[in-house]
Structure 1
Amino acid sequence: MQFGYSEICLAHDPGSRHPESPDRLRAIRKRLQKKHGVEYVEADPCDLDAMATVHEREYLESVREFCADGGGSWDPDTTAVEETWDAAARSAGLACWTAEEALEGATGRETPFSIGRPPGHHAVYDNAMGFCFVNNVAVAAQHALDHDAYDVDRVAIIDWDVHHGNGTQDIFYDRGDVFFVSLHEQGLYPGSGDIDETGAGDGEGTTMNIPMPAGTDDGEYLAAVDGPIAAALTDFDPDLLLISAGFDAHRHDPISRIRLSTEAYALLSDRVRTLAEDTDAALAFILEGGYGLDVLADSVAMVHETFDGREPIEPDDEPDDNAESTLEDVLEAHDLDVELDDHY
């Protein structure tokens, strides 16, 4: 894979006790040193105008000024330092780079994956929250839609971070040109992402939330992708598929109760690659969460290995009744005719 990366993203340092630390990127880079075919690319930062296509300009200016004044605690979870604005601009720029690379034909071993930080999927239109200041995947999606050279009419986003991507949902909730899917743990921060949140106005039906019960493991996540997600996105027919790739649904992550294995990320990567091929969509990955350093690094490496030719190993676990009920409710909310038994 091609990995978008910048040392500038390390300068955002919310403190040694904060889970979203620069050590996340250091751990990923160290793990990828052992892999062949890894290429690093540094992209230009996003300017404020580009970010303002999905965020309120006044909000962005206030974040920039907050950082210029030395930063501090924006809220109890979200901390900035003087360098945070530059890191956020670079992280958004790396996300845009992934969209550009994918749309220019980068596939297979050249598939782009941005490992910028701070992450973005909790940043709403006019506020920062949940460690996030600028919604990287939203900026990248809008960047693709706004540039005539890419001929993009529809973008799909699959967010498999264990937390609901409330910011991405907020930004695109009433839009018909972006289909947003969030596969997350039920009841976890930020508490949004119910099944009946399906979009509004022109965006009715283009938001899909799949809140999985605690304890869900690999088979149910794969059934979600193979069942409702694949059916909905096949109907939507995106030109670009962006993955908000968080790795905190891993069973050894310290802040969640979903039970995915490292192998699950190989399987999920293979599934979304197939979905992109079936819909003739360009495909790119953008880092979100993941706070157990070893499992974060191993999981990112597993995505890379999948695109480098490793064949994923299918699980043999039985379906969980609670998770299956959730998927049935999602199918009903989106009026999709899918037999889940075919995907277990």
Structure 2
Amino acid sequence: MQFGYSETCLAHDPGSRHPESPDRLRAIRERLKKKHGVEYVEADPCDLETLASVHDREYLESVREFCVQGGGSWDPDTAAVTETWDAARHSAGLACWAAEESLEGASGRETPFSIGRPPGHHAVFDDAMGFCFVNNVAVAAQYALDHDAYDVDRVAIVDWDVHHGNGTQDLFYDRGDVFFTSIHEKGLYPGTGAVDETGEDDGEETTMNVPMQAGAGDYEYLAAIDGPIAAAITDFDPDLLLISAGFDAHRHDPISRIRLSTEAYALMSDRMRTLANETDAALAFVLEGGYGLDVLADSVALVHETFDGREPIEPDDKSGEGEKPTFDDVLDAHDLDVELDER
């Protein structure tokens, strides 16, 4: 894979006790040293105009001024330093690079993965939250839609971070040109992402949330992806498929109660590649969360290996009878009372 990366993203340091640490990127880079075919690309930072395509300009200017004055706690979870504004611009620029690269034909071993930080999927139109100042994946989606040269009419975003991507959902909730789906832990921060949040106005039925109960694992996630998520994306027929790739649903992540294995990220990546191929969509990945440094690094490395030729290993049948769970089984097990696969 090609990895979008900038040293500037390391300068955003919210403090030694904060889980969203520069060590996240250092751990990924260290792990990828052992892998074949890794390429790093630095992209230009986004300018204010590009960021303002999805965010309120006054909000962006207030973040810039907040950082110029030395930063501090924006809210109880979200902290900034002087360098945070530049890091956020670079993180968004790397996400745009990933979208652009994929639309220009990069695929297979050249599939782009932006590993910028701070992450973005909680940032809403006019506010920062949940460690996020700029919604990187949303900026990248809008960037693709705004550039006529790429001939992009529809973008799909799959968010598999353990937290609901509330910011991304809000930004496109009434839009028909962006399909957003999030699979996340039910009831976890920020408390949004219910199954009945499906979009409104022109965006009706372009949002799909799959909240999982704590304890869900590989079987449940793969059933959801193979069932309603794949069906919805196929029906939407996007030109670009962006993955909000958080790795905090791993069973060893310190702030998650979802039980994904490292192998699950290879399997989900393979499903996304298949979906992109079947819909003739460009495919790009954008880093979100993941706070256990070892499992974050291992999971990103396994995503890379999947695009470098490694065949993902399907989980053994849970029942021992050779049958995979259907999404109906998942609905029953996780108290989901909306039949998403019939939407």
TM norm structure 1: 0.95
Return the alpha-carbon distance in structure 2 between the equivalents of residues 104 and 330 of structure 1.
Answer: 41
Aligned to 1:253: 253
Aligned to 1:220: 220
Given the alignment of the two structures, is residue 335 of structure 1 paired with residue 342 of structure 2, yes or no?
A: yes
**Alpha-carbon contact 1:228-1:327 (below 8 Å) kept:** no
User: Quick one: which amino acid aligns to residue 95 of structure 1?
Assistant: A
Return the alpha-carbon distance in structure 2 between the equivalents of residues 334 and 203 of structure 1.
Answer: 18
Pairing of 1:76-225 with structure 2 (within 5 A): 76-225=76-225
Between 316-325 and 9-18, report the one with greater CA deviation: 316-325
Q: Deviations over 1:147-191 (max 9, x none)?
A: 000000000000000000000001000000000000000000000
Given the alignment of the two structures, is residue 38 of structure 1 paired with residue 38 of structure 2, yes or no?
A: yes
Q: Any stretches of 5+ residues in structure 2 without a counterpart?
A: 320-324
Aligned to 1:306: 306
Return the alpha-carbon distance in structure 2 between the equivalents of residues 334 and 83 of structure 1.
Answer: 45
- Tell me: CA distance 1:334–1:58, structure 2 relative to 1, closer, same or farther (3 Å): farther
- Tell me: CA distance 1:22–1:314, structure 2 relative to 1, closer, same or farther (3 Å): same
Return the alpha-carbon distance in structure 2 between the equivalents of residues 163 and 100 of structure 1.
Answer: 26
- Tell me: CA distance 1:148–1:327, structure 2 relative to 1, closer, same or farther (3 Å): farther
Return the alpha-carbon distance in structure 2 between the equivalents of residues 211 and 306 of structure 1.
Answer: 26
3-state secondary structure, aligned to 1:286 = strand
Name the % identity: 82
Return the alpha-carbon distance in structure 1 between the equivalents of residues 21 and 74 of structure 2.
Answer: 16
**Alpha-carbon contact 2:227-2:341 (below 8 Å) kept:** no
Return the alpha-carbon distance in structure 2 between the equivalents of residues 326 and 234 of structure 1.
Answer: 26
3-state secondary structure, aligned to 1:124 = coil
1:325, CA displacement in angstroms? 2.8
Given the alignment of the two structures, is residue 323 of structure 1 paired with residue 330 of structure 2, yes or no?
A: yes
Aligned to 1:339: none
- Tell me: CA distance 1:157–1:327, structure 2 relative to 1, closer, same or farther (3 Å): farther
State the superposition RMSD in angstroms. 1.5
1:328, CA displacement in angstroms? 9.1
User: Quick one: which amino acid aligns to residue 332 of structure 1?
Assistant: E
Return the alpha-carbon distance in structure 1 between the equivalents of residues 256 and 245 of structure 2.
Answer: 15
User: Quick one: which amino acid aligns to residue 335 of structure 1?
Assistant: E
Aligned to 2:5: 5
Given the alignment of the two structures, is residue 291 of structure 1 paired with residue 300 of structure 2, yes or no?
A: no
1:332, CA displacement in angstroms? 2.7
1:323, CA displacement in angstroms? 3.2
Number of aligned residues:
336
3-state secondary structure, aligned to 2:342 = coil
- Tell me: CA distance 1:328–1:179, structure 2 relative to 1, closer, same or farther (3 Å): farther
User: Quick one: which amino acid aligns to residue 206 of structure 1?
Assistant: T
- Tell me: CA distance 1:330–1:141, structure 2 relative to 1, closer, same or farther (3 Å): farther
Aligned to 2:322: none
- Tell me: CA distance 1:175–1:327, structure 2 relative to 1, closer, same or farther (3 Å): farther
Return the alpha-carbon distance in structure 1 between the equivalents of residues 116 and 337 of structure 2.
Answer: 32
TM norm structure 2: 0.96
- Tell me: CA distance 1:171–1:4, structure 2 relative to 1, closer, same or farther (3 Å): same
Return the alpha-carbon distance in structure 1 between the equivalents of residues 156 and 331 of structure 2.
Answer: 24
**Alpha-carbon contact 1:210-1:330 (below 8 Å) kept:** no
Aligned to 2:234: 234
Q: Deviations over 1:39-89 (max 9, x none)?
A: 000000001110000000000000000000000000000000000000000
3-state secondary structure, aligned to 1:241 = strand
Return the alpha-carbon distance in structure 2 between the equivalents of residues 212 and 29 of structure 1.
Answer: 31
Aligned to 1:14: 14
Return the alpha-carbon distance in structure 2 between the equivalents of residues 325 and 105 of structure 1.
Answer: 41
3-state secondary structure, aligned to 2:339 = helix
1:322, CA displacement in angstroms? 7.3
**Alpha-carbon contact 1:184-1:210 (below 8 Å) kept:** yes
Q: Any stretches of 5+ residues in structure 1 without a counterpart?
A: 337-344
**Alpha-carbon contact 1:228-1:331 (below 8 Å) kept:** no
User: Quick one: which amino acid aligns to residue 212 of structure 2?
Assistant: M
**Alpha-carbon contact 1:162-1:247 (below 8 Å) kept:** yes
3-state secondary structure, aligned to 1:144 = helix
